[in-house]
Amino acid sequence: MPFDPTDIALSILKIVIVLGALLNVTPIMVWVERRGSALIQDRPGPNRVGPFGLFQSFADALKFILKEDIIPEQAHKWLYTLAPMFGLLPALTTIAVIPWGLPFRLPAKRIFGRMFFEGDRIFEPIVADVNIGILLIFALASLGVYGIVTAGWASSNKYSLFGAIRASAQMISYELALTLAAVSTLLAAGSVKLTDIVWQQTHYFYIFNVIKIPAWNVFSPSMWLSFIIFVVAAFAETNRLPFDFAEAEAELVAGYHTEYSSMKFALFFMAEYMAMAAMSALVATLYLGGWDIPWWDEPQVWWASLLTMLFFTAKVVALLLVFVWVRWTIPRLKYDILMRLGWKVFLPLAFVNIVIVAFFVAKHWI
């Protein structure tokens, strides 16, 4: 294909937008986590650094940058240093195949007497609209456990190793339930492409031929079980309470990152919140209609696309608030309950749900 600087410029613009949003997730969510926990526990929370403590996260970031970077004498230095990157990269890359807005036509403009580009273009708010979108997400997300396992082993600390072993068993167990729960959405859409899954949810169905309901997968009678399994498995995959056994401060000090300090520890922190954002975006895409605005047929113009981006962001923010609410509401489970729940409850239910959805698809009820 001929070299097209316009396409490259648009791709760079989309990458900058997504990376900018992801890099801002951590400081914002740290503040939300602290203020949210304070509200739930009836205490002030951060309120001294800036109005409402808004600058507290930036003060923490400065603290991490200035702190001494200590490497344990017995640690495997190369793997110890690379482990935070192993955890961060999957969270950064999975978001690339998630659509975050309605495509719109970008007309050619004449600037300084010259055409900016030849012919109209379709601007699709997605970094990489690949045909194997959701398969690529699961493949990349499964690599996140390597960062945790590498950190636990390379630290030469028994608590770090215990946390890494717990995390690997937990994430492998719940990846099965997570993947099988998502299969139902693929069956309904007839595609593994995330843009197709979103377009399939932009329609409507009627209850008693009166009430007009958006055809989001979460509202489908055959999908609510899949939605519950997927959301619970997402908590386990991101190591969030009540499934934070990889850290478990009361038992393992801080788990796999016990020996980490300075910016290496901050990278693990960033990876957790970025993974939460990516998983929230995936839940919104698979079950909550993605960028679709209910009861409104979006015209394919730039301002409608902007509204869909804002609506998609609102869905992701709402799901992130659920992560915070659950953390400060539900206590940590016992580890044997966690594993039993994954293998003996969620895995069989995910298989049953696939059969139910396949039956609905065969009957053309979806």
- Would you list the DSSP string of 51-65? GGGTTHHHHHHHHHH
Nearest to 254 by CA among 262, 244, 264: 244
Is the pLDDT reported for residue 308 higher than 90?
Answer: yes
State the pLDDT at residue 110: 54
Is the pLDDT reported for residue 73 higher than 70?
Answer: yes
* φ/ψ (deg, to 5) at 317: -60, -40
Q: Which two tokens stand for residue 340?
A: 């039993």
The residue ranges of every structural domain in the chain are 5-362
Global pTM reads 0.90
Share of the chain above pLDDT 90, in %: 19
Nearest to 328 by CA among 241, 224, 200: 241
SS3 state at 202: coil
Q: Which two tokens stand for residue 132?
A: 């194997």
Q: Residue 313 — pLDDT band, cuts 50, 70, 90?
A: very high
- What mean pLDDT comes out for the span 21-31? 88
Q: Which helix (DSSP H) or strand (DSSP E) does residue 106 occupy?
A: strand 104-106
Q: Residue 120 — pLDDT band, cuts 50, 70, 90?
A: low
Distances (CA, A) of 225 to 217, 232, 278: 11, 11, 21
What does the DSSP assignment read for 334-346? PHHHHHHIIIIII
* φ/ψ (deg, to 5) at 124: -105, 120
Nearest to 185 by CA among 174, 202, 198, 167: 198
Is the pLDDT reported for residue 320 higher than 90?
Answer: yes
Label the pairing between strands 204-207 and 110-111.
unpaired
In the DSSP assignment, the letter for residue 216 is -
CA distance 92 to 18: 9
CA distance 160 to 248: 11
Q: Residue 214 — pLDDT band, cuts 50, 70, 90?
A: confident
CA distance 196 to 217: 13
Is the pLDDT reported for residue 118 higher than 80?
Answer: no
In the DSSP assignment, the letter for residue 332 is P
